[in-house]
A and B are shown apart, each in its own frame.
Chain A
Amino acid sequence: MNPETLVAGVLLAALVLYTLGAGADFGGGVWDLFAFGRTGTRQRDVIAHALGPIWEANHVWLILVIVLLFVCFPAAFAALSTALHVPLTVMLIGIVLRGSAFTFRTYDRSDHAVQRRWSRVFAIASIVTPLMLGVCVGAVLSGDIGVDMTSGRVTGGFFAPWLAPFPFAVGLFALSLCAFLAATYLTLETTEPDVRRAFRARALVAAVATGVLAWTCFALARSGAPVMHEGLAGADGSLVFQIVTGSVAVGAIAALWTERYTLARALAVAQVTLIVCGWGFAQYPLLIPPDVSIANAAAPANVLRAVLTVLAIGAVVLLPSLAYLYRIFKLQPGR
């Protein structure tokens, strides 16, 4: 395999891990906002406890994605950050407020009003961030970010590619996916049956919402992302792929319904992995349809090989450390 395809594969893998980790952290913020009912306060505690040790590590996947993008596919990075300047800036504000509000809440006064205020900021920022990320993905899929590859100029304008129904539908889809993932994980973060049941109900609601939004995106894609729509509806391999993803989603719902939480978590992970990979394969070999491809945006091969070497060495240090972190905090039973 040529080095640029390998790097693109690593990028996709990092995006999957970012979604599985940080995506769920954003979802946790969503459920902080909807932590009502008798168990409301305890739900918030479980969420805070689940996020505390891991959110910063999960966040670094995004930084890795950005760095790989600007080092290995600089033309794509330049084009994306020009055409999507506005949604990316809003997303950044979300990232800043989410992380800081979460930390501030931990270390600020414990009285209700103060905690409540930081919770609000944390929750709203957790909603805005994945929404905007989804909008950006939708804008990429739409094929409206035209790029003149010789001058590097962006031809689609600063607003048109993302200020449309399809990108926002993708944004909502991303948000509900995060919420679904989070609620499913959270069922395993507590031993209290009533709190667990509350998260189960939330996971089911989010699963249904995710399904509805998936169909909405698909319907809107007909005009909003025609090339993508054709690919999804047409090619033979993609139908199989969609059936598998759909069945996993249904399986996750069934597992939640029958209170098999470990299975539900595994299926949710599989579902999200399939969705993100499906996105990747759907637009392969393009990075930003229709003009920017893996091949025409790639950095020189020797740079890519150097980066791959760094990634290989880095992985030797990183993966055991990550495994250690998760073993300490996620494989020991929750409180």
Chain B
Amino acid sequence: MTDLLAARLGMAMSLGFHILFAAAGIAMPLLMVIAEWRWLRSRDPVDLELTKRWLRGTAILFAVGAVSGTVLSFELGLLWPGFMRWAGPVIGMPFSLEGFAFFLEAIFLGIYLYGWDRVPPLAHWASGVVIAASGCVSGIFVVCANAWMNTPTGFRMENGVAVDIDPIAAMLNPAAFQQTLHMTIAAYLAIAFAASGIHAWGLLRDPASAFHRRALAITLLLGIACAPLQLVSGDISAKQVAESQPAKLAAMEGHWETKRNAPLTIGGLPDERAEVTRYGIQLPGMLSWLAFGDVNAEVKGLREFPREDRPPVLITHLAFQVMVGAGTTLLAVAVLSAVLWVRRRAVPVDRRFLKLLIAVSPLGLIAIEAGWTVTEVGRQPWIVHGVMRTRDAVTPMPGLVVPLVTISLLYVFLGLVVLALLRRQVFAAPRGPMKSVRAGGTEPPR
């Protein structure tokens, strides 16, 4: 394995791992403050229990998110010093702001987690709100930095150094709005369905559980709200990509020949040697329409670009299909849930429906991974689109395979432990309808 490949895989590993925890760090606090708000108003012990269980889940996920995020901050330099040497100052604005968001998150998580009987109830709840807000904001900042890599603005290159740097213009680059919107909704959507799956499973085992029923009502509602929004926001993202990164769009779509009235290819396998995409279903004119809002618009094909400027087509195309497939499925399930909910006038708990929820529960997280693969692999061979190639950014350090393997093993281990602990803390909920009030009690049960 070349060192460049090891570095790319290493970065992908770390980001792919971190993003799962980051998504939880954005969305879980929201669920938690909704549950606590309900408890403050209703004093119903089910709501308190729910708050605490989600809180324990959040605490576990947050710790792993924080340490894996730290690894990322260092890896930007450990793996890509050639990039950070000049790009650091340009994307410094979002990263500096993010630092403060992390501080707020960590501080108020400490208060929320350990302060149940040290601060007044409303202040406790407000700490939760700060966590939820700063989690959301920190995700937005870091995605601004990533969007800059896709649509770099706010500087000029002169002899390998960035000059005339405008940090604000760099942060508010053309892709920033689309990407942050799409990622933020993605986090809520993915976690809503992942959590729905967990609680659906709980209800299958123990249909009388008031705890899981209440939980499902909250998570499913969030999922229903986010699924249609995500489709709209994905369309906005696609139009942005079409405008600013034609090679990425062509790779996403497996689209080889520049033409008007370009067809949308669903599925299919791009063959990079023969420069064709086989076995796909073609919808005439749809690609032109989705990308530019006009069935007759011209869409550039991959043949337009010299080979050394093309991203890996197969991976990008497949990842895009996976994301869109997952998004569409989740939307269908969201619509079904809404219909059942209105019909039953209560959160639906039919066994078949619960099984469906379990089946689709990983789809949001899978879509996040796939979507990032589209964004990052689709940007190749550039680390900063049109400005710097990835191979020019990599560290001269030899033997990068060693940290790659070590850190990957570490992540596998952490992932397994986290799953086991979540099972213990969130899933193993009190059975049946709940009566007893258990206020106080800051520490988790042993």
Give the B-binding residues of A (Cβ under 8 A): 52-54, 56-57, 59-60, 62-64, 66-68, 70-72, 74-75, 77-82, 85, 88-89, 92-93, 95-100, 102-104, 106-110, 152-154, 158, 299-300, 302-303, 306-307, 310-311, 314, 317-318, 321-322, 324-325, 328-329, 332
Structural contact, B106 and A329, CB atoms closer than 8 A: no
- Most chain A Cβ neighbours within 10 Å, of B64, B85, B403: B85
Q: Which of B110-144 contact A (CB under 8 A)?
A: 110-111, 113-115, 118-119
Interface residues on B, range: 35 or more
CB distance from A18 to the nearest CB of B (A): 12
Judge if B221 is at the interface, Cβ distance under 8 Å: no
26 sampled A-B residue pairs with Cβ under 8 A: A54-B110, A56-B63, A56-B110, A57-B103, A59-B70, A60-B103, A70-B88, A72-B89, A74-B84, A74-B87, A78-B77, A82-B81, A82-B395, A85-B395, A85-B397, A92-B71, A92-B74, A96-B67, A100-B67, A103-B59, A107-B424, A158-B397, A310-B93, A318-B104, A324-B107, A328-B115
Contact B106–A56 (Cβ < 8 Å): yes
Checking A68, A303, A321 against B103 with a beta-carbon cut-off of 8 angstroms, the contacting residue is A321
With both beta carbons as reference points, the residue of chain A lying nearest to B444 in the complex is identified as A107
Minimum CB–CB distance from B157 to chain A (whole Å) comes to 14
Note all chain A residues with C-beta closer than 8 A to B69.
63
Smallest CB–CB gap between B318 and chain A, Å? 31
Is A317 touching B102 in the complex (CB atoms < 8 A)?
no
**Is B406 positioned at the interface, with any CB of A under 8 Å from its CB?**
yes
The answer for the CA separation of A56 and B446 in the assembled complex, in Å, is 22
Indicate which residue in A52, A57, A72, A303 contacts B106 across the interface (CB closer than 8 Å): A57
Contact A67 B107 (CB under 8 A): no
Residue of B at shortest CB range from A311? B96
Shortest C-beta distance, B308 to chain A (Å), equals: 24
Instruction: Using A306-B92, A325-B110 as known contacts, list a sample of 7 further A-B pairs with CB atoms less than 8 Å apart, ordered by residue number in A.
Output: A67-B95, A82-B77, A95-B70, A109-B446, A299-B88, A300-B89, A306-B168
Q: Which residues of A contact B70 (CB under 8 A)?
A: 59, 62-63, 92, 95-96
Q: Which residues of B contact A306 (CB under 8 A)?
A: 92-93, 167-168
Complex A-B, nearest 3 residue pairs according to Cβ-Cβ distance, in ascending order: A71-B92, A81-B77, A110-B446
A303 to B155, CA, bound (A): 11
* Given A54-B110, A107-B425, A321-B104, CB of A63 within 8 Å of CB of B119: no
Taking a contact as CB atoms under 8 Å apart, the answer to whether A103 and B118 are in contact is no
Interface positions of B from 60 to 108, Cβ below 8 Å from A: 60, 62-64, 66-71, 73-74, 76-78, 81-82, 84-93, 95-100, 102-104, 106-108
Nearest CB on B from A320, distance (A) = 10
Contact B74 A78, beta carbon cutoff 8 Å = no
Instruction: Type the 1/0 row for B398-442, where 1 means its CB is closer than 8 Å to any CB of A.
Output: 100001001100100010010001001100000000000000000
B403–A63 CB distance below 8 A: no
Residue of A nearest to B166 (CB): A302
**Contacts known (A63-B70, A82-B397, A109-B446); A71 close to B81, Cβ less than 8 A:** no
Measured in the bound complex, the distance between the Cα atoms of B111 and A56 in whole Å is: 11
- Chain B, Cβ-Cβ closest to A14: B99
Q: Which residues of B contact A (CB under 8 A)?
A: 56, 59-60, 62-64, 66-71, 73-74, 76-78, 81-82, 84-93, 95-100, 102-104, 106-111, 113-115, 118-119, 163, 165-168, 395-398, 403, 406-407, 410, 414, 417, 421, 424-425, 443-444, 446
Instruction: Give the nearest-CB partner of A332 in chain B.
Output: B118
For the complex, give the distance between the alpha carbons of A158 and B398 in Å: 9
| Least CB distance, A107 to chain B, in whole angstroms | 5
- Contact assessment for A77 and B84 in the assembled complex, using a CB-CB cutoff below 8 Å: yes
Chain A residues with Cβ under 8 A from B398's Cβ? 158
In the assembled complex, the Cα of A181 lies from the Cα of B312 at a distance in Å of 52
Q: How far is the CA of A72 from the CA of B74 in the complex (A)?
A: 15
Pick the residue among B60, B84, B86, B407 that contacts A93 (CB under 8 A).
B407
Contacts of B119 in A (CB 8 A): 328
Q: How far is the CB of A144 from chain B (nearest CB, A)?
A: 17
In the assembled complex, which residues on chain B have CB atoms less than 8 Å from the CB atom of A54? 110
- Name which residue of chain A comes closest to B114, CB basis: A53
- Shortest A154–chain B CB gap in Å is 8
Cα A124 to Cα B378 with chains together (Å): 41
Question: Which residues in A have their C-beta under 8 angstroms from that of B106?
Answer: 56-57, 59-60
Bound-state Cα–Cα, A75 to B87, Å: 10
Query: B59, B99, B168: which contacts A63 (Cβ < 8 A)?
Result: B99
Determine the distance from Cα of A68 to Cα of B407 in the docked complex, in whole angstroms: 25
Q: Which residues of B contact A57 (CB under 8 A)?
A: 103, 106-107, 110
Q: Contact between A299 and B89 (Cβ–Cβ < 8 Å)? A: yes
Q: Which residues of B contact A70 (CB under 8 A)?
A: 76-77, 84, 88, 92, 95
Whether A300 lies near B397 (C-beta < 8 A) is no
Note all chain B residues with C-beta closer than 8 A to A152: 81-82, 85
Q: How far is the CB of A159 from chain B (nearest CB, A)?
A: 11
Bound CA span A231–B412, Å: 47
Known: A62-B70, A306-B168. A78 touches B82 (CB 8 A): yes
- The answer to whether A108 touches B397, judged by C-beta atoms less than 8 angstroms apart, is no
- By the criterion CB–CB under 8 Å, are B81 and A81 in contact? yes
* Contacting pair A329 B421 (CB below 8 A): no
**Quick check: B82 and A99 within 8 Å, CB to CB?**
no
Instruction: Give the residues in chain B near A93, CB-CB below 8 Å.
Output: 406-407, 410
Instruction: Collect the chain B residues with CB atoms within 8 Å of residue A52's CB.
Output: 110, 113-114
A77-B84, A107-B59 known; A96 vs B414 contact (CB < 8 Å): yes
Is A85 a contact partner of B85 (Cβ separation < 8 A)? no
User: Bound state CA distance, A324 and B311, in angstroms?
Assistant: 50
| Min CB–CB distance B390 → chain A (angstroms) | 16
**Within the assembled complex, what's the spacing in Å between the Cα atoms of A109 and B74?**
33
Contact status B92-A299, CB under 8 Å:
yes
Partner of B78, one of A89, A99, A318, A325: A89
Please indicate the chain A residues that have their CB under 8 angstroms from the CB of B89 in the complex.
Answer: 71-72, 74, 299-300, 303
Contacts of B97 in A (CB 8 A): 310, 314
Task: Pick the most buried of A56, A152, A321, A322: most chain B CB atoms within 10 A of its CB.
Answer: A56
Q: Which residue of A lies closest to B170 (CB)?
A: A303
The residue from A71, A102, A103, A153 contacting B96, defined by CB atoms under 8 A apart: A71
Contacts of B104 in A (CB 8 A): 317-318, 321
CB distance from A163 to the nearest CB of B (A): 15
How far in angstroms is the closest Cβ of chain B from A115?
9
In Å, the complex CA distance between A299 and B92 comes to 10
Give the residue of B68, B90, B114, B165 whose beta carbon is less than 8 angstroms from that of A329: B114
Provide the residues of chain A in CB contact with B406, threshold 8 Å. Answer: 89, 93
